[in-house]
Amino acid sequence: MFDLGWSELLVIGVVALIVVGPKDLPLLFRNVGRFVGKARGMAREFSRAMEDAAQDSGVNDIKKSFKTATNPMGAAFDGLKDATRDLTKGLDPTKYDPASETGKLAAERADSAKKIQAATARAAADRKAREAAEALAKAEEAEAALSAPAATAKAVETPAPDSETKA
C-alpha cells in the first residue's frame, strides 16, 4: 500500500535537512515519530474493536461452519473425538456411589473399557511385531539377492582346475 524503501527515506531525510535545518531536525523527527505512534495506536484500537464486533455478531461461528463445510472429514473426526471424550468422561466410576446399582454398573463398565483398551493395545503391538518381522524377512531376502550375484560372479572368474592342464 504505502511502501518506502531506504532510498526514498534517504531523499526525504536530505530534503528535510535542507528545508528544516540541522538545528530543528531532531525535533521534527520526534514529532513525526509521535504522530506515527498515535496513528498505529488508533489502527490497533480500530482493529481490536472490529474483532470484538465480529465476535459479538457471531461471525466466528459462521467462519467455523464454513470451515466445516469445506472440510467435512475434519468435522467428522472432530465429532468422533467429542463423542469419545464424552464416553470416557461417562465411564468414571468415582462419580457414583459405589454401593448403588449405578456405581456397580459404572465400575463394571470401566473394567470392561480397560480390558478392551488392553486388548486393543496388545493387538496393535502384535500387528506391529508381525509387520516388523515381515519387513526384516524382506530385507534379508534383498540382501541375499544382492550377495548372490556377487558370489556367482566370483565363481565364473576363477576357473575350475582341469585334468588336462595338469598333464
pTM beyond 0.85: the answer is no
pLDDT digits (tens, 9 = 90+) for 53-101: 888 887 777 877 777 777 777 777 777 788 777 776 665 656 767 788 8
- The domain limits of the chain are 9-59, 91-139
| 128's grid cell | 506391529
pLDDT digits (tens, 9 = 90+) for 25-52: 889 889 989 999 999 999 999 999 988 8
Question: Residue 47 CA to chain centroid, in angstroms?
Answer: 29
